């Protein structure tokens, strides 16, 4: 697949995702659940989720060089997953309704090294594609009630090595790989750097 780095020039602050999140008071609400009874996730909750919490990708043996694909879960979990994954390594979100063949093409063309799948979120076709591609699969369970909105839990977390540094992509690193149809029949892979993601969210 052809690559074309998308960058945006701006005088905005050059921040990583956790640094951007930390600009807002920790107790400000970031995500609300689909159930009114669920506790909202605050900006502080999100930072803690990414750094040392259930969303810390060191718990599934990922590194800053990992290219991590995942089936996009519904609601606030999808938003939380994007922030958590794209802040630590290159994220490749996959439509839950994607076919096995399209998923296989996405996994191989994007150079995916790790596949995250959320239970009970239409993941079967992506799982088969990941198995065909020989990519390690890590499973997560969505937690609807006991934790803040958007939370999810790794099924088989690994202990974080003592003294290891939290994963945090620099602003110039590729945070997201998207596949677009473009003007040809074969999808193209378009990388977006972290800084561009921030600017497009403003």
Provide the residue ranges of all domains of the chain, joining segments of one domain with +.
Answer: 17-170
Q: Between 57 and 74, where is the model more confident?
A: 57
Once rounded to an integer, what is the mean pLDDT over residues 48-70? 95
Where residue 189 falls among pLDDT bands split at 50, 70, 90? Answer: confident
What pLDDT shows up at residue 61?
93
Where residue 9 falls among pLDDT bands split at 50, 70, 90? Answer: very low
What pLDDT shows up at residue 93?
94
Q: What is the pLDDT of residues 118-135, one digit of tens each?
A: 998 878 999 999 999 999
Cβ neighbors of 118 (< 8 A, separation 6 or more) are: 70, 71, 73, 77, 81, 139, 140, 141, 142, 152
Homologous superfamily, domain 17-170? ANL, N-terminal domain (3.40.50.12780)
Where residue 56 falls among pLDDT bands split at 50, 70, 90? Answer: very high
Beta bridge partners of residue 180, listed in sequence order: 188
Contact call for residues 159 and 143 (beta carbons, < 8 A): no
């Amino acid at each position: 697949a052809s690559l074309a780095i998308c960058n945006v020039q701006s005088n905005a602050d050059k921040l990583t995702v956790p640094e951007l999140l930390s600009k807002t008071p920790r107790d400000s609400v970031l995500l609300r659940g689909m159930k009114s009874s669920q506790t909202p996730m605050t900006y502080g909750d999100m930072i803690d989720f990414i750094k040392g919490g259930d969303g810390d990708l060191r718990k599934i043996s990922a590194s800053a060089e990992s290219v991590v694909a995942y089936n996009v879960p519904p609601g606030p979990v999808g938003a939380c997953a994007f922030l958590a994954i794209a802040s630590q390594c290159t994220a490749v979100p996959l439509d839950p309704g994607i076919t096995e063949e399209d998923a296989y093409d996405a996994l191989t063309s994007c150079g995916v090294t790790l596949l995250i799948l959320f239970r009970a979120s239409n993941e079967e076709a992506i799982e088969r594609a990941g198995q065909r591609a020989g990519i390690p699969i890590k499973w997560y369970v969505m937690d609807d009630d006991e934790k803040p909105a958007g939370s999810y839990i790794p099924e088989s977390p690994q202990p974080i090595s003592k003294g290891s540094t939290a994963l945090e992509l620099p602003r110039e690193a590729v945070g997201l790989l998207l596949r677009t149809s473009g003007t040809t029949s074969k999808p193209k892979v378009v990388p977006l750097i972290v800084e561009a993601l921030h600017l497009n969210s403003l």
